A and B are shown apart, each in its own frame.
Chain A
Amino acid sequence: MAGFLQQLVEGLGAGAVYASLALALVLIYQFTGIVNFAQGEMAMFSTYIAWQFTVAGLPFWLALVLTLAVSFAGGMLIERIVIRPVEGAPELTVVIVTVGLFIFVNAAAGWIWTFLIKDFPNPFPGGAVEAGGLSVGYSTLGVLAVVAVVMGLLYLLFQHTKVGLGMRAVAANPDSARLVGIRVGWMLALGWGLAATVGAVSGILVAPLLFLEPNMMGGVLIYAFAAATLGGFDSPAGAVAGGLTVGVAETLAGAYVGFIGSDLKVGVPLAIILFVLLLRPQGLFGRAVVERV
C-alpha cells in the first residue's frame, strides 16, 4: 500500500509539471484559438535565459524575476512579429507557423548554448518529508505549490481585474470587444506574453529534474497536450486537473500494468488524447462550442 501511495505522490509530482505547461497552452488557446506547438520550446529558451543569469552570478530569485520579465516581453514580441501577420488565416497556416517556431527556437538554443546538458540550480531543498512510510520530496511539494500559486494568480487576474475582463471579452467575442473600445491587438499580445511567462515557470520547474538541454521540453509537451485535451483546451483549472490525472495515470500504468511497463508508457498520453476526443471532445471541464445557425 505504501508503495502504491508513493507511486501516486510521484505521479502527482510529474503531473504538476505537465499541468504547468498545459496552463500555458490553454492560455494562448483561450485568447487566440491557436494551439501553440512552440510552447515547450519557448519555455526551454526562457529556462536557458534564467540559466545564463545564474551563471552570470545573479541570485536565483532575481534571475527568476528577470527571466519572467524577459519571457513576457518575448512572448508579446513573438505575437507581434510572427503571429500577427497570419492572424485570421486558416488554422492550418497558424499551426504550421507555430511548428516552424518550434524548430527555429530549438535550433537557436542549440546554436547559442550547444546541445551539451547543463545543470540547473534547484530552488527547493533536496530532502524529503517522511510520513507513514511515504517520502515526498521537497521539490515535488515545491512544484505543486508553485503550480497552485500560478493558478491562483491567473484566477485573480481574469476574474478581478479590468485587464482580465478585457481579455475575457476578447476571447468571447473579438468583434464586440473591439466595438466597446478594447484594444484587441494588445490583449492578444498580452495573452502570448502571459503564456510565455507561465511557460517559463514550467521550464524552470522541470530543468533541475530533467537537466537543461534544447530537447528538454519535447517529451513534456506531449504530456501537456494530453493534459490540456483531457481538461478542456479552454479551461485553466481543467488543464491543472488534466495534468495531475495524466501524471498519475502514466506513473501507475508504468508501474502496475504489466504489459505497459516502461515500453508503452509514452502511449498513455496518446491513448488519453484519443479517448477524450472520441468521447468528450471539449474535455472534462471545457465548454462545448455551440454555434447558432
Chain B
Amino acid sequence: MRLSPIGCAAVTTTLLLATAACGGREEAGTGATTAAGQCSGQQTTGITDTSIKLGGIYPLSGPASAYGDIPKGIKAYFDYVNAEKGGIGGRKVEFVVRDDGYQPPKAVEEARRLVEQEQVFALFQTLGTPSTTATWDYANQRKVPQIFVATGASKWGTDTAHPWTIGWQPNYVSEARVYAQYLKQERPDAKVAVLYQNDDFGKDLFEGFKRAIDGSGITVAAEQSYEVSDPSVDPQMRNLAESGADVFLNVTTPKFGSQALAADARNRTWNPLHIVNNVSSSITVLKPVGFENVQGVVSAAYYKDPNDPQWKNDPEMMLYFEKMRQYAPGANPAVPYFAFGWAVAASFHKAMEAVKCPTREGLRDAVRSLDNVQVGMLLPGVTMTTGADDGFPIESMQLMRFKGERWELFGEVIDTRKEFGPLTN
C-alpha cells in the first residue's frame, strides 16, 4: 500500500512512531507505515499489495528442537501457495523463522529483531508457553499481531489485556473437558489418578479437568506432580498405583510421558484406563515404550494424522503429501509436526483472506471473528470459531485409541463449547 499524505501526517503525529519514514525512506526500527482510505491510520508495516512478511520463533536447537519441524511444514505450504496460487490474495508470503532454543529471553530478543529490523507484518507463531508469555507484552505494546501461537495455555483466550495475541490449537482446558466428557459417558463413577507437570501447562490442564468433572460422579482419587528436573516419575507412579484408581490421566511432556506409560505397563496389578494428553501422544513418545505396552491408551486429536490410512484418499492429505515432496524434499511428510505446520499455515491463509483491511488491525480483528471456518487438514467437524467473547479458534477434539501401531479415532467430535459453554477465567 502506497503512502498518502494523510497517512504520513497520521504517522508523524503519533508519538509512538515519532520518526516514521515517509516518502520511501526507512530507518531500522521505525519503518512504520499506515493505510489510507477506509482503513485510514491502520498499520501497514510488512504488507504491500504484492507481499506479506511474517516472522515465527521456534526452538530449532536445544531440548525442544523436535518442534523445529513445524516451520518447515508452514514454509512448504506458503511456498506452494506462492508458486501455484499467486500467494494469499495476490500477496506472496515471506516467512522468516528465528531460533530461540526454547529460551524465553532469546525469544524476546528474536521478537524485537523480527518486529524492528525485519519489519514483519505479524508474528506468526511463537512456540511454547514460556516463550510466548515472554513476548506477548512486547507484541501488544507494539501493536503487532501475534497470531496462532503454538501453545495450548488457556490464557491466550481468557486474557483481555492482550488483544493482539491469539492461540490456535485446542487449549489445555478444552482438552481436559474432552476427557471429562468421555469419562462422564463411559465411566460415570470413575476414580481418577492424575500425574501432572508442576508448571503452567500441567496445572492448566489439571485444574480444567477438576472444573469439568465438578458435579458429576467422577472423582480425583489421587494426584501427584513432578518437576521437569526429576530424573524419573516412577515414585509418583507407585503412589498413584496405591490409590487403586480405575482411570489414569497422564498430563506430561514427552520424556515423562514415556516413563509414565512404561511404569503403567510394568505394573501388572494396576490396570487403569490410561489417558495420555495430546502433548505426549506423539508416536515418538509411544514407540520407545514399545507398541505392545501402550495398546488401548486413549488420547484426543484435532488435525489429521498423516499416518492414518483413513485419510489416504483425502484430497487435502494427498495435496499435502504431493506438495511436501515438491517443496520440502528432505522432510518425511509422515511426521505429524509437518502436518501441524501445514494446518496452521492453511488456517492463516483463511484468516488473511477474510480481513476487511489489509492491515495489522485488520488481521487482529479477522482472527477474532472467525465463523465456523473449515480447514482441510483439521478433522472433519473441527472448525475455527472465535468471537468477541471467545478467543479460542479450535475448541473441538475427537478421541482416539492406540491400536496396533497407530492411533484410531473413535466416537464423535466433542465440541466443548456446546458441552460446557464458553471458557472464561
Residues of A within 8 A of B (CB): 3, 6-7, 10, 14, 17, 110, 114-119, 126, 137, 206, 209-211, 213-216, 218-220, 222-223, 250-251, 254-255, 261-263, 265-266
**Residues of B in contact with A (beta carbons under 8 Å apart):** 61-66, 198, 224-227, 229-232, 234-236, 238-239, 242, 254-255, 258-259, 262, 266, 284-285, 287-290
| 18 A-B pairs (CB sep. < 8 Å) | A10-B235, A115-B62, A115-B64, A115-B65, A117-B285, A119-B288, A206-B231, A210-B255, A213-B63, A215-B255, A220-B231, A254-B235, A254-B239, A262-B198, A262-B225, A262-B235, A266-B229, A266-B230
* Contacting residue for B66 out of A114, A215, A265, CB 8 A: A114
Q: Is the CB of B229 within 8 A of A219?
A: yes
A42 to B395, CA, bound (A): 45
- Name the residue on A nearest B232 (C-beta): A210
Can you name the residue of chain A whose Cβ is closest to the Cβ of B284? Answer: A116
A176–B110 alpha-carbon span in the complex (Å): 57
Q: Closest chain B residue to A13 by CB distance?
A: B234
B-side binding surface: helix, strand, loop or mixed? helix
Q: Number of residue pairs across A and B with beta carbons under 8 Å?
A: 90
- A10, A116, A117, A218: most-surrounded residue (chain B CB, <10 A): A117
**Residue from the list B65, B230, B284 in contact with A117, Cβ < 8 A:** B284
Question: Which of B62, B225, B232 contacts A209, CB < 8 Å?
Answer: B232
Cβ B255 vs Cβ A213 within 8 A: yes
- Pair B63/A215 contact, Cβ less than 8 Å: yes
Report yes or no: A265 in contact with B235, Cβ–Cβ below 8 A: yes
**Contact yes or no, B289 A119, CB < 8 A:** yes
Q: A210-B232, A215-B63 are in contact. Are A10 and B238 (CB under 8 A)?
A: yes
- Bound state CA distance, A116 and B224, in angstroms? 25
How far apart sit A255 and B240, CA to CA, in the bound complex (Å)? 10
Given A115-B62, A116-B284: A10 and B224 interface contact (C-beta under 8 Å): no
Residues of A within 8 Å of B236, CB to CB, are 254, 262
Q: Is the CB of A266 within 8 A of B227?
A: yes
Which residues of chain B are within 8 angstroms of A126 by Cβ–Cβ distance?
Answer: 266
Q: Smallest CB-CB separation from A252: which chain B residue?
A: B235
CB pair A223–B231 under 8 Å, yes or no, is yes
Contact residues in B for A117 (Cβ distance below 8 Å): 254-255, 258, 284-285, 288
B230 touches A265 (CB 8 A): yes
Which residues of A have CB within 8 Å of B198?
A: 262-263
A262 and B232 in contact, given A115-B66, A210-B259, A211-B255 (Cβ under 8 angstroms): no
Q: Is the CB of A114 within 8 A of B65?
A: yes
A218 to B227 Cα, complex, angstroms? 12
Contact A219 B235 (CB under 8 A): no
Residue of A nearest to B67 (CB): A115
Task: State the Cβ distance, A1 to closest chain B Cβ, in Å.
Answer: 14
Give Cα A214 to B64, complex, Å: 11
Q: How far is the CB of B166 from chain A (nearest CB, A)?
A: 28
Instruction: Contacts A262-B236, A263-B227, A265-B235 known; list 15 others, CB within 8 Å.
Output: A14-B232, A110-B61, A116-B66, A117-B258, A117-B288, A210-B232, A210-B255, A211-B262, A215-B255, A218-B231, A219-B232, A220-B231, A222-B229, A251-B235, A254-B235
